[in-house]
Structures are given as structure tokens and as C-alpha cells.
């Protein structure tokens, strides 16, 4: 992971293109569920690793116990 690649490591908190300040939420990709952000432009950041289920990701989001490794 590179410095500034996630909001937690210094990426801008507001999308420069659409001016949205996205909130962490559970999202899904082909690799699985993850905690990330979405703005009007589309996916903005992936703030966590991947989880096997939406429920596991939601629990981590609610607990605040997530990070991207």
C-alpha cells in the first residue's frame, strides 16, 4: 500500500472531481466485501482488507476495527 492510497494514509477526504466527502461503508467487489468509500464518480477508496461475508465487514465497520494491510 502506498502513502495516500487510502483516506487513512493521507488521501484527500473530498473527491476533487465531484466534491463529495464519502463516508465509510461496506462495499463489494469480485474479491469480496470490504470497507471503503464511494463518491458520485464511483469507487473512491478501499480502507480495509477483504472479508468473506457482508456481515463480517459490517461488524468491523461498526466496531471501527479495520485497516488495509
Question: What pLDDT shows up at residue 1?
Answer: 66
Q: Number of structural domains, the chain? A: 1
- Does residue 23 belong to any structural domain of this protein? yes
- Does residue 22 belong to any structural domain of this protein? yes
Question: What residues have CB less than 8 Å from 10, skipping those under 6 apart?
Answer: 3, 4
> Residue 34's domain spans which residues?
7-63
pLDDT digits (tens, 9 = 90+) for 7-50: 988 999 999 999 999 999 999 999 999 999 999 999 999 999 99
Question: What pLDDT shows up at residue 53?
Answer: 97
- In contact, 68 and 8? CB cutoff 8 Å: yes
CA 55 and chain centroid, separation: 16
- Does residue 46 belong to any structural domain of this protein? yes
- Does residue 2 belong to any structural domain of this protein? no
- Does residue 68 belong to any structural domain of this protein? no
- Does residue 18 belong to any structural domain of this protein? yes
Amino acid at each position: 500500500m502506498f502513502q495516500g492510497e487510502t483516506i487513512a494514509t493521507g488521501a484527500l477526504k473530498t473527491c476533487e472531481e465531484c466534491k463529495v466527502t464519502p463516508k465509510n461503508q461496506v462495499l463489494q467487489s469480485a474479491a469480496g466485501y470490504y470497507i471503503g468509500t464511494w463518491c458520485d464518480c464511483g469507487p473512491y477508496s478501499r480502507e480495509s482488507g477483504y472479508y468473506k461475508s457482508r456481515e463480517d465487514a459490517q461488524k468491523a465497520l461498526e466496531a471501527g476495527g479495520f485497516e488495509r494491510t
